Amino acid sequence: MEEKVTPVELLIDRGKAYTKTSLRLFKLKATDKGAELISKVVSGFVILVLFALVFINLNIAIALLIGEILHKIWMGFIILSGFYGVIGILVYIFRNRWIKQPVSNSIITELLKEDDFPEEDLSDK
């Protein structure tokens, strides 16, 4: 003989299934966001390291060139250091506008962007 399921039991079962599905969806979305964020950080770090190597070599060449023009190699390095010191001071003064706000906005936008999951109609047909 079949056991009759009351509407309350059916509602409780559907509530449990909905909760499990919602939790699984939350875990999948969090995993997706985490993987995307980590991949962006790692790729950005690799690009930054490569750019830094090129930048260092280029600056040594520029310092040597300036030093050769002035007939004192050490002067090229002093002048280039002073130039980067001025840039460093400017970046420090405008750090909130140039670095903090854009980075914060980028992270917030990335975390809150719409999901790629299609909306499904979960109602009974």
73-108 core/surface letters (b: 16 or more CB in 10 A; e: else): eeebbeebeeeeeeeeeeeeeeeeeeeeeeeeeeee
Query: What does the pLDDT look like over 7-31, one tens digit per residue?
Result: 888 999 999 999 999 999 999 988 9
| Residue whose token pair is 């300036």 | 66
Would the pTM count as exceeding 0.75? no
75, amino acid identity: M
Distances (CA, A) of 123 to 60, 65, 75: 67, 73, 76
Tens digits of per-residue pLDDT, 61-96?
Answer: 999 999 999 999 999 999 999 999 999 999 999 999
Domain ranges within the chain, ordered by starting residue: 7-112
C-beta separation of 65 from 57 below 8 A: no
Q: Which of 41, 33, 23 is nearest to 111 (CA)?
A: 33
Rounded distance, CA 55 to CA 66, Å?
16
